[in-house]
Structure 1
Amino acid sequence: MGKQQDVGGSDRHSGSGTTGERAIEGGVDARLALAQDPATPQMTLFDLASDPSAAVRRAVASRADAPAQALRPLTRDHDRGVREAVARNPSASIANLLRLVKDADRWVRWAVAGNPACDESVRRVMSEAADKELRGLLAESRELEPELAARLIEDVSPEVRERLATHTQDPDVITALLADRTARVRKGLARNPRTTAEQRSALAQDPVVDVRVALVGAVELEDADLARLVDDRSVQVRLALAKSEVVPAHIRQALGRDPDEMVASAARDFRPASARSAAVRAPRIGHRPSGSGRRRPGGAAR
């Protein structure tokens, strides 16, 4: 079904089709069944949107074929579950989503963040929100305009920047965050499969142990980087290396002779979790995987 259009108007419908003049017969179960029935006429959905039962209103709010004007009053419903159902509805109009992304209840706002119908106008409101979690959910989005990505790079919250670092697919964003002074942001980058071999080499020499630990457990590294990490001054890093699913056999053999018995034992006793490793190789510079198109910062191929 195409995108709904919210053309404005009163939140309460008037005329012969309103519940004020035409009550729907039957108990709650009957009205709920009617709200869930794909064959129910749209004018009846208008009536059911004002039903005294929250369960019935939630059923209307969840329908992809519900008219935007029927959903509009539900964006201000006193029941959070009703508003959240509209927020999750992939056919909700942009006007309705813009109302809900500013909802007083955080769960409703967060539901909007996961709605595939969100466009740039909704994402812009999210980027300017005081709600840190809402901005964090935006940072994880695969659809992120360059201007909004730039705003999140400078976000006051290290958590938001970390989530952006972990999920972004944009090379410019990765490069910018590599220089972030907060270790947890670089730790997020260490887990990002879109980093290049050169960027991984820089992260392998990061002064913060947690960054190096995250790196060795997440992505494949060049032999030169692995050789340095085998002799890393931190037992935590060497232990993470010994337990990593993405470390080649000769590195694990070297760790089996580590002076720390805990590291050596972990390397000798290692058993892969699966026959095939979930290793993530560094992308080749200038190489675009087949089937991918031009990408926006943090976004999927369009």
Structure 2
Amino acid sequence: MGKQQDVGEPDRHSGSDTTAHRPIGGSADERLTLAQDPTTPQMTLIDLASDPSPVVRKTVAARADAPAQALRPLTRDHDRQVREAVARNPSTSLANLMRLVKDADRWVRWAVAGNPACDESIRRVMSEASDKELRGLLAESRELEPELAAKLTDDVSPEVRERLATHTHDSDVITTLLADRTARVRKGVARNPRTTAEQRSALAADPVVDVRAALVRAVEVDEADLVRLVDDRSVQVRLAMATSEVVPSHIRQMLTRDSDEMVASAARDFRPGSGTSSAVRAPRIAHRPSAAGAGRRDS
């Protein structure tokens, strides 16, 4: 992780004192080249932070070696892509991240969520935000403190609770969400690879089809539960078993005789690595689509 330097510290990249910076002039392309140059002195980067070109300012904002004096004003830049670059910069100070996590633009706020420099104080603000997606990104965080995870188990949004259920490493949180009244939250628990055999057995008997189907797609289940699920009343569950990467072959063989031809055919035709497994994906990192998000104003 880079470290922000204040003016007056030696510029390790240029080998000279920060006060001996290059004069800035020329075209926008030349100034961009200067902003990209790893040997550019710190004082020059500070000057470039107020460049008329947003591309130049964004380049400075993304530099891990940018001094605090350069990044600080960029947290208030009128161009949201510049602020977003600061929000992603792992060298951005906690004070600046605190400002950006409250930014009016959602993409800037979401960028903060993926910054490894975030600490508990930033995550606490995220947990109290009205922005559902920001709380959802927090719910997927591996660094989430137990206190904040417990708080999110009562989140008003089922989506936030589902994302917490899928990604949490906290056994107490898993136990709490296993009893959630909303099916999509229990579906999230079903996809969590850190559930116990006992919890998976309970999920295999869940009254909601989507929960049982998610379970057999995502994690290994005890054979006794799988044998019962071979005769599940739902075609969706049996089809999920027939196409799951984690269901043993001898269980799948039982499904080749299923009364539903679609299930039987899927079991017969299954090939490992066919891409039908529903493994838990890595937590989302909020990246704005390059085209769709470029011209929108939002909050």
8 A contact 1:238–1:255 mirrored in 2: yes
Q: CA separation in 1, counterparts of 2:3 and 2:127?
A: 23
| Partner-residue secondary structure (3-state), 1:76 | coil
8 A contact 2:217–2:279 mirrored in 1: no
The residue identity in structure 2 corresponding to 1:57 is R
How far has the Cα of 1:4 moved from its partner? 3.5
Q: CA separation in 2, counterparts of 1:177 and 1:109?
A: 27
The residue identity in structure 1 corresponding to 2:183 is A
Q: CA separation in 2, counterparts of 1:184 and 1:5?
A: 47
Deviations, residues 92-144 of structure 1 (Å, cap 9, x unaligned): 00011000000000000000001111111110110000000000000000001
How far has the Cα of 1:269 moved from its partner? 1.6
Show structure 1 runs of 5+ residues with no match.
8-16, 281-297
Q: CA separation in 2, counterparts of 1:29 and 1:239?
A: 57
8 A contact 2:218–2:279 mirrored in 1: yes
Cα RMSD for the two superposed structures: 2.2
Partner of 1:47: 47
How far has the Cα of 1:246 moved from its partner? 1.0
Between the two proteins, the alignment pairs up a number of residues equal to 267
Q: Residue 148 in 1 paired to residue 180 in 2? A: no
Q: CA separation in 2, counterparts of 1:6 and 1:132?
A: 36
Partner of 1:248: 248
Distance 1:187 1:75, change over 3 A: same
Deviations, residues 69-98 of structure 1 (Å, cap 9, x unaligned): 211110010001100000000110001100
8 A contact 1:132–1:157 mirrored in 2: yes
How far has the Cα of 1:6 moved from its partner? 8.5
> Residues 104-123 of structure 1 correspond to what in structure 2 (within 5 A)?
104-123=104-123
How far has the Cα of 1:159 moved from its partner? 0.1
Q: How does the TM-score come out when normalised to structure 2?
A: 0.85
Partner of 1:289: none
Partner of 1:220: 220
Distance 1:273 1:258, change over 3 A: same
Please identify runs of 4+ aligned residues in structure 1 that moved more than 3 A: 1-7, 277-280
Distance 1:28 1:2, change over 3 A: closer
The residue identity in structure 2 corresponding to 1:138 is L
Show structure 2 runs of 5+ residues with no match.
8-18, 284-299
Distance 1:279 1:248, change over 3 A: farther
Q: CA separation in 2, counterparts of 1:248 and 1:278?
A: 15
Q: How does the TM-score come out when normalised to structure 1?
A: 0.84
> Residues 6-155 of structure 1 correspond to what in structure 2 (within 5 A)?
24-155=24-155
Deviations, residues 176-229 of structure 1 (Å, cap 9, x unaligned): 110100000000111111111111000000000000010011111111100110
Partner of 1:185: 185
Q: CA separation in 1, counterparts of 2:3 and 2:25?
A: 31
Higher relative contact order (CA 8 A, sep 6+): 1
How far has the Cα of 1:65 moved from its partner? 0.7
